Amino acid sequence: MAERRELSPEELRLSVRPEELGVQSSEDLLAEEAALIMAQERAVSALALGLRLEDPDVHVYVAGEAEQGVAYLTRVLTEEEAQRRPRPSDWCYVYNFEDPDRPLPLELPAGRGREFKKDMEHLVRTLRERLPEAFEDERYVQKKEALLKEFNKRRAQIFEALEQKVKAEGFVLNVEPMGMMIIPAKPDGSPMTPQDVQNLPEEEKERLKAKSRELQQEMNTTVRQIQKLEKDLHEALKNLDREVASQVIEAHLQELRHKYAAYTPVVEYLEAVARDILEHLDEFRKGQESPQQTPFPMPVPPREPIFLRYEVNLFVDHSETQGAPVVFEPNPTYPRLFGSIERKAQFGALLTDFTMLRAGSLHRANDGFLIVRALDLLRNFYCWETLKRIIKSRKIFLEDLGEQLGLFTTKTLRPKPIPFRAKVILIGDLFLYHLLYTYDEGFRELFKIKAPLEEWVDRTEERTREFLRTVALMVKRKGLLPVSADGLAWLVEFSCELAGRQDKLSLKLPEIFDTLREANFWAREEGSLYITAKHLEKAKEERRRRLSLLEDRIQELIQKDLLRIRTTGEEVGSINGLSVYDLGDYRFGRPTRITVNISLGKEGVINIEREAELSGKIHTKGVMILSGFLRERFVQDKPLTLSATLCFEQSYGMVEGDSASSAELFALLSALSGVPLKQGIAVTGSISQKGEIQPVGGVNEKIEGFFRVCAARGLTGEQGVIIPQANVGDLMLRREVVEAVEKGLFHIWPIRRVEEGIEILTGRPAGEPGPDGRYPEGTVFYLVDQRLRELAERARRFAKEKEGS
């Protein structure tokens, strides 16, 4: 049996010496140019392509985790691209005089929208002052009086002619407020009374009636002539008013026409305004009147002021924007994304008008960039489908969500849409990207550029320097204390811890900066001028202390022997496997007792966790691999007549993953051979059917979890952990573990094959098969082979006895 190599303390953790960095503090790095985005060339290149492609059907998905700073990277690069672009247009909504329910959008250059709004306010205010004055002008009054005089003259002439005719026929024309009447006259010219008429002879009465009918026809003709005169007068006065008003309106509108001559829709709107004002001159002639007190005891809804229709709703204002807009929408609800139609309650009714239209993020991001978290977008009902529809149609429709869903039956506005010309950038993780790409055809059609973020980068001298420059720049920007040389060295090591590899640097910069912020607090508390390694270590430990409640409770249960874990002695068919608990913000490892029992049977290896429906698919696969290993090594010349029950003791939750498959195999080999395993040695590693030990995740947490149990009970110098050789480069163990290894109190053994592990656990050689396929006596595999042969023979005898009976 060859002596098995242990890992030296230097292999257990990357150690960076401060003097290797060549700086005294982070301040020395500020003179060097630092990139805002570190080592994300792939993502930066893809995002830059997506931003610069002038294709309305090409949008971008930036794939990365929040702790990688995906939002920061996206905003920095997008804002950089936006600064190279011109300012976008302003958008205004105005009254639609032809279809009041469909307000009109007007596009103006940046800053001109606010100017146009002020110009319209000034125009209406001026006309409300000038038009009443124009109607009090002497020339207007003279023209109006002349028209009235001419009307009165002609009316008088018509009445006079009628009176003469009536008088000549022996009648009197009686004019009263209720109308005109023709009455027979007496010889003295006074009107007859009804009694006088009654006393006349019948022949005379018949003559008067006939003559009265003739005169009535004449009177009706006269009334029509007067009505026509009144109509002509009204039309003449109206034309006079329009003529005078047109002169005033033209005088003030001409300047606006010239000012906005380049914008045809605006000029057309101004013409419509002029026509509408002429149709509502009476409102302007009233001047600035105060509302009269209503005589009714109950409140009466006020009439909608006519002047509201001439207001301008400055829908999107880019007067202060520099370059193209970059809008990050943190809460993508329907109204925040697509705008809303507000309402006001008045006397039990909900009222709205075009001045209550409110822009959403899509409107503000037009001609620029909209950044949205994909998961937040999907969580908000109807937003994702609406966004895809807008991108495809290239129009932003301002609609009520309630109306689309049939919740509102009241009349509402339907503003004409604004063209959509923005680039949409979704940010989310890779899993969500693949989910959308697989199941959403619209996503595949529209989001053609994927910008994936790297989780880590190779730890070269150049990359390390770049990492330190980025740290120095962020420390300066956040107003933190400078970081000392030993603090910078600590950060390099911490970055490797986060990456899970000694030869990698993590790109989870937000997590590193969170640690720096806390360390800055402890440094200031101490009155230090620098953030040192001591402060960073304290920040790390304080964070671990805040988050390690569950780990501490499990460790307490182990120490009280409520969770049974042996760390000394030997036992057949029992071993300490290692598992990792991932709580999202904290990961830790713990040992788990794995046991195996052997009996005669044909079931093979029975996974108790699977039978209890507590085994995940990957764990079940790992257990099935054990049978494959046994069949190749030991049952080429005999049947496998074995029932082996495999159990994770005191495990009451789902077991997933194959990292315990090597430990399960060692326990199975121990149970078959009868050779006890050292309980002070824990094992992690996946196994193949060929007996190869494969790498696993969470190796640092697993080692540290078992070390903590052993340290609490007292290190004996016989304890340690077996890990896959392929995981050696992942080791970034805590300093107390390294120190224990250095003192010979704890051990880490890397192995490549099953044979190496079983020899460490038993102290016996595993055994190599000879030319006849048999293992040497005294070896572990010899004992396993003999036990399997014995079980096969017993099964054969049992079957024969059963046949004989």
Handedness of CA 452, 453, 455, 461 (dihedral sign): positive
CB 659 within 8 A of CB 697: yes
The DSSP bridge partners found for residue 285 are none
Q: Give the model's pLDDT for residue 286.
A: 72
Residue 148: DSSP 8-state: H
Say yes or no to pLDDT of 384 above 90. yes
Provide φ and ψ at 738, rounded to 5°. Answer: -60, -40
Which one from 423, 504, 678, 702 is the annotated catalytic residue? 702
Name the 3-class secondary structure at 588.
Answer: strand
Output the pLDDT for position 606: 66
Four-CA torsion 546, 550, 552, 556, nearest 10 degrees: 160
Q: Which phi and psi angles does 314 have, rounded to 5°? A: -75, 90
How far apart, in Å, do the first and last CA atoms of the chain sit? Answer: 49
**Model pLDDT, residue 652:** 67
Q: What torsion, rounded to 10 degrees, do the Cα atoms 414, 420, 425, 426 define?
A: 30
How many whole angstroms separate alpha carbon 130 and alpha carbon 128? 6
pLDDT at 419 over 80: yes
- Which residue type does 380 have? N
C-beta separation of 663 from 683 below 8 A: yes
> What local confidence, expressed as pLDDT, does residue 291 receive?
47
- Comparing 380 with 302, which gets the higher pLDDT? 380
pLDDT of residue 296: 46
Give the pLDDT confidence score for residue 135 in this predicted structure. 79
Listed range (207-211, 509-513, 681-685) with the worst mean pLDDT:
207-211
Distance of CA 197 to the CA centre of its chain: 96
Kindly report, residue by residue over 272-313, the tens digit of the pLDDT. Answer: 999 999 888 888 877 555 444 545 444 544 445 688 999 999
Give pLDDT, residue 608: 62
DSSP states along 38-96: -S-HHHHHHHHHHHH---TT--EEEE--GGGTHHHHHHHHHHHHHTTS----EEEEE--
Q: How far apart, in whole angstroms, are the C-alpha atoms of residue 595 and residue 494?
A: 37
- Only one residue has tokens 């309980």, namely 679
pLDDT of residue 152: 87
Structure tokens at 629: 């290993």
Q: How many helices (H) and strands (E) does the chain have?
A: 27, 29
Listed residue (703, 677, 699) closest to 758, CA to CA: 677
Query: What is the C-alpha separation between 163 and 153, in angstroms, rounded?
Result: 15
| CB neighbour list of residue 759: distance below 8 Å, 6 or more residues apart | 1, 4, 765, 766, 780
Position 166 scores a pLDDT of 76
**Per-residue pLDDT at 102 exceeds 60:** yes
The predicted pLDDT at position 411 comes to 67
Q: Is the pLDDT score of 177 beyond 70?
A: no
Q: Any catalytic annotation for residue 211?
A: no
Residue with tokens 């329910």: 101
Residue whose structure tokens are 């953790």: 13
The single-letter DSSP state of residue 146 is H
Compute the average pLDDT of residues 437-444. 94
Q: Which amino acid is at 108?
A: L
Half-sphere CA count of 146, side-chain side, radius 13 A: 8
Residue closest to 719 by CA, chosen among 695, 674, 683: 683
Q: Find the mean pLDDT for residues 15-28.
A: 92
Say yes or no to pLDDT of 584 above 50: yes
Q: Pick the residue with more confidence: 761 or 183?
A: 761
Given this model, what pLDDT does residue 301 score? Answer: 47
Per the document, the length of the chain is: 805
| Domains, the chain, ordered by start | 15-38+456-547 (1.10.8.60), 40-88+321-453 (3.40.50.300), 134-285 (1.20.120), 563-799 (3.30.230.10)
**Residue range 626-636: average pLDDT?**
84
**Mean pLDDT score of the chain:** 87
| pLDDT band (50, 70, 90) for residue 426 | very high
User: Is 702 annotated as catalytic?
Assistant: yes
State the average pLDDT over residues 500-520: 91
542/397 Cα distance (integer angstroms): 52
**Distance from C-alpha of 114 to C-alpha of 318, rounded to nearest angstrom:** 9
Rounded to whole angstroms, the Cα distance separating 534 from 486 reads 9
The first and second tokens of residue 618, run together, are 């990957």
**What is the rounded distance in angstroms from the CA atom of residue 282 to the CA atom of residue 278?**
9
CA 792 to the chain's CA centroid: 63
How many whole angstroms separate alpha carbon 439 and alpha carbon 433? 10
Look at residue 25 and give its three-state secondary structure.
strand
**Confidence at residue 290, expressed as pLDDT on a 0 to 100 scale:** 47
Q: Which of 659, 662, 670, 686 is catalytic?
A: 659
Query: What's the token pair of residue 28?
Result: 């020395």
Which residues make Cβ contacts (< 8 Å) with residue 729, sequence separation at least 6?
501, 502, 503
Query: Considering only CA atoms, which of 797, 524, 581, 564 is closest in space to residue 705?
Result: 581
Pairwise pLDDT comparison (518 vs 292), residue with the higher score = 518
d(CA 805, CA 480): 88
In this prediction the pTM is 0.77
Alpha carbon 376 to chain centroid, angstroms: 4
492 vs 489: CA distance, rounded Å: 5
Residues 743-794 have pLDDT tens digits of: 999 999 999 999 999 999 999 999 888 888 888 998 999 999 998 888 888 8
